Amino acid sequence: MINVQQDDFVVADEYQKLADDNQDGAVVTFVGKVRDFNEGLGVQGLSLEHYPGMTEKVLDQIEAEAREHWPLNKVTIIHRVGDLALGEQIVFIGVTSPHRKAAFAACEFLIDFLKTKAPFWKKELTSEGSKWLEAKASDSETSQQWSTKLTN
């Protein structure tokens, strides 16, 4: 399931939906939150913009790619857009699999690729005004490392 939404999500509800199949021995979830610092500036909140239509397509592609590499059963990707306050949840990734290693790896793969491929943009509200976030070279290196790892 892929959802791009303004509303918050409840982790317990998402977990329940993921965990109701007894074929799966493993459920791995990741939640990304708005944290209070970035590059030395105090962050008070952020605003998330996306490219409606393309975002969903890219997330579908990333999910399909993960399914090519690992035996996954359920996959949930939720990403919020709009204005988010400090401490709020931004993103939820949940995967289930018969095996834990596949679930851990796929969850990490999904968030790493979401960060470098899906058209979302964060604008931070800091003590010195609002500022668009710069993409981190370390994030694209992480997703490149996956490509190397998975082709070897």
Give the footprint of other proteins on this chain (CB under 8 A). 32, 48-51, 53-54, 57, 79, 90-91, 111, 114-123, 132-135
Nearest to 47 by CA among 85, 78, 9, 77: 85
Cβ-based nearer residue to other proteins, 53 or 98: 53
Work out how close the CB of 49 gets to other proteins at its nearest, in angstroms, rounded to a whole number.
5
Work out how close the CB of 56 gets to other proteins at its nearest, in angstroms, rounded to a whole number.
9
26-33 and 75-80 as β-strands: parallel, antiparallel, unpaired?
unpaired
Work out how close the CB of 69 gets to other proteins at its nearest, in angstroms, rounded to a whole number.
19
Specify whether the backbone of 82 is left (phi greater than 0), alpha (psi in -120 to 50) or beta: left
Q: Read off the tokens for 19.
A: 């965990």
Cβ-based nearer residue to other proteins, 24 or 50: 50
Work out how close the CB of 55 gets to other proteins at its nearest, in angstroms, rounded to a whole number.
8
Cβ-based nearer residue to other proteins, 24 or 107: 107
Nearest to 94 by CA among 103, 83, 84: 103
What DSSP character marks residue 128? T
Q: In the chain, which residue ranges form alpha helices assigned H by DSSP?
A: 11-18, 54-69, 100-117, 137-151
Cβ-based nearer residue to other proteins, 73 or 116: 116
- Please tell me whether residue 9 adopts helix, strand or coil conformation: coil
Cβ-based nearer residue to other proteins, 74 or 117: 117
Work out how close the CB of 32 gets to other proteins at its nearest, in angstroms, rounded to a whole number.
6
